[in-house]
Structure 1
């Protein structure tokens, strides 16, 4: 991964540009998970994003939640898993579970 494609570097650059930004981080995985703990997705107020927390299957749900986090400033812990009805709706049918922390970048 080059510095230009690193979500943490992008989050820092976007914040310096005055963009309101949230950072989503995979904090826990269980079973078959698309991305390992420590993976990041950076999202701005307009819905632009870089990085990945799920290989595409839950990114849209995380982006939607990030808009609320940016607005409120309150972090959110999201959980997606095969036992969760949401898992099938967002495409996480791989049999695993992931927890994603979404927080506003100050």
Structure 2
């Protein structure tokens, strides 16, 4: 069972467990938000290269994109910042109440 999205200690413990069993893991951290964002700064998500995830940095398609980038980060061994956002005008066009942006720091774990 995956830890609750806001349980940082459990997410880090899950990442450590995956590492101990030989999985390759990346850690994603929300480092900035503007406007509407489903998860606050400091939210964590651990991702293995075989697709297991614990925690949450946003939801929906953003987490899928973070998981895909996690594999690249682990393979390349270099952290990166990912930026996601939607303008207020675009949000209204797709039926959302408001736009928002978030930055996620993604790093490989040793």
| Counterpart for residue 98 of structure 1 | 102
Q: Which runs of 4+ in 1 moved over 6 A?
A: none
Distance in 2, Cα, partners of 1:16 & 1:104: 15
Distance in 1, Cα, partners of 2:10 & 2:41: 15
| Counterpart for residue 49 of structure 1 | 53
Name the SS of the counterpart of 2:66 in structure 1: helix
Q: Which has the larger radius of gyration?
A: 2
Distance in 1, Cα, partners of 2:12 & 2:37: 21
The size of the alignment, in residue pairs, is 99
| Counterpart for residue 18 of structure 2 | 14
Report how far residue 57 of structure 1 moved. 3.7
User: What does 1:15-94 correspond to in 2, within 5 Å?
Assistant: 15-83=19-87, 94=98
Give deviations 1:72-105, integer Å, cap 9, x for gaps. Answer: 000010000114xxx98xx9x6511100011001
Q: Any stretches of 5+ residues in structure 2 without a counterpart?
A: none
- Pairwise CA RMSD: 2.4
Distance in 1, Cα, partners of 2:85 & 2:10: 26
Report how far residue 13 of structure 1 moved. 1.1
Q: Any stretches of 5+ residues in structure 1 without a counterpart?
A: none
* Superposition TM-score, scaled by structure 2 size: 0.80
